[in-house]
Amino acid sequence: SAGLDLAGIFLFAILTLMTLIANLVFVEEVVYIYRKIPSSKRSILIWINAAAPVIATTSCIGMWIPRSTMFTDFTAAVKSSSWHFLPLLHFLPIKECGGQKLFLRRFENGRFKISTGPCCCCCLCLPGVRITRRTLLWLKLGTFQFAFFRPVLMFLSIVLWTNGNYSPYNLSLEGAAIWISCFIGVLTIIALWPIGIMFQQVRTLLNCKKIIPKFALYQFILILSQLQAAIINILAMQRIIPCAPPLSSSARGAYMTQQLLIMEMFLITLISRVVYRRRYDDLGPPESTPEEGRDNKEAP
């Protein structure tokens, strides 16, 4: 950023201001959550709403200090892995249904539709799977693997980078970047599958909780922070994004990624504030079975 002209300085200042506003909006949202939201949901809501401001902050640091890109990417990876997918699976479908016990009671006679994207959307003949504790555990494991392995792979990338054996811009078959990126892509697809299964199961029941816009926000964060960066990186490597001295094509691609992420996460932070500020009534209890109703009548 040392050779910026007046327009560049103005752009950097605007993007930095956006990052600051996003963090202030998040802090204000945390205050609101502590005042208005039950304690059982506070921490999860804070984690979810922190996704966009954290990614905006790491992108802003990477924009001002280009040499820190590997470390800011690692921070964003930990954030989007541990705080993006886990609350998406736990909070949205299960927590909004009142917890795992109530979730199982609501769907005790139901079946998960596994013929959904991104893995099996074309396999319509696949039978449904009964909703039990075991199937819920498998869905959780399918999501947890991404939260565990992606930060590990990013840490491995930093270790190789410090040793001179890794470059994020070297996408040749001899380089480690292409293999690590492909492995992360496979893990992402596997993690998205159980989330899609769960979303298909609860979207009608949780329509009053605005499940669709919440789910869409998380998908936008994932796509913008992962797929968009990969596409821009490939375009830069193919010189489709031209160099502009003193910046090479790769450096311009990195700057474009960081600047776009700041603007996008700023907008998502504002939209998240609107979505989560609305108050909704809790779901009613699941219908009791005849035995439960008789026991309740006999109870003193």
pLDDT digits (tens, 9 = 90+) for 206-257: 777 777 787 888 778 877 877 777 777 777 777 777 776 666 677 777 778 8
Look at residue 288 in the predicted model and tell me its pLDDT. Answer: 46
Q: In CATH, what number does 7-277 get?
A: 1.20.1070
Mean pLDDT for the stretch of residues 80-93? 58
pLDDT bracket for residue 26 (50, 70, 90): very high
What's the pLDDT score for residue 246? 63
Confidence band for 298, pLDDT divided at 50, 70 and 90: very low
| pLDDT band, very low/low/confident/very high, at 92 (cuts 50, 70, 90) | low
Residue of 221, 25, 261 whose CA lies nearest to 213: 221
pLDDT of residue 299: 40
Q: Identify the pLDDT of residue 137.
A: 85
Tokens (6 digits) for 225: 């922070």
CA 85, distance to chain mean position in Å, is 5
Residues 6+ apart with CB under 8 A from 121: 115
User: Residues near 108 by Cβ (< 8 Å), separated by ≥ 6?
Assistant: 131
pLDDT in the model for residue 293: 42
The whole-number pLDDT of residue 198 equals 82
Largest CA distance in the chain: 83
Distance CA 90, CA 3 (A): 46
Closest-CA residue to 199 (of 273, 139, 286): 139
Q: Domain extents for the chain?
A: 7-277
**pLDDT 10s digits, 281-292:** 556 566 544 344
- Whether pLDDT at 95 is above 80: no
Spatial distance between the Cα atoms of 34 and 29, rounded to a whole number of angstroms: 9
pLDDT, tens digit (0-9, with 9 covering 90-100), for 254-294? 778 888 999 999 999 999 888 877 665 556 566 544 344 44
Average pLDDT over residues 140-156: 81
> Does the structure show a pLDDT above 50 at 300?
no
Helical pair 39-49 and 51-64, crossing angle rounded to 10 deg: 30
Please say whether the beta carbons of 187 and 113 come within 8 A.
no
pLDDT of residue 74: 59
Q: Say which residue the tokens 């840490």 belong to.
A: 155
Among 230, 214, 215, 220, CA closest to 272: 214
Listed in sequence order, the residues at least 6 apart from 165 whose beta carbon sits closer than 8 Å to its beta carbon are 176
Work out the mean pLDDT of the chain and round it to a whole number: 75
Q: Can you tell me the mean pLDDT for 141-147?
A: 81
SS3 track for the chain: CCCCCHHHHHHHHHHHHHHHHHHHHHHHHHHHHHHHCCHHHHHHHHHHHCHHHHHHHHHHHHHHCHHHHHHHHHHHHHHHHHHHHHHHHHHHHHHHHCCHHHHHHHCCCCEECCCCCCCCCCCCCCCCEECCHHHHHHHHHHHHHHHHHHHHHHHHHHHHHHCCCCCCCCCCCCCHHHHHHHHHHHHHHHHHHHHHHHHHHHCCHHHHHCHHHHHHHHHHHHHHHHHHHHHHHHHHHCCCCCCECCECHHHHHHHHHHHHHHHHHHHHHHHHHHHHHCCCCCCCCCCCCHHHHHHHHHCC
- Per-residue pLDDT at 12 exceeds 90: no
Asked if pLDDT for residue 3 goes beyond 60, the answer is no
pLDDT for res 177: 74
Higher pLDDT, 180 or 123: 180
Residue 4 Cα to chain centre, angstroms: 33
| pLDDT confidence band for 69 (50 / 70 / 90) | low
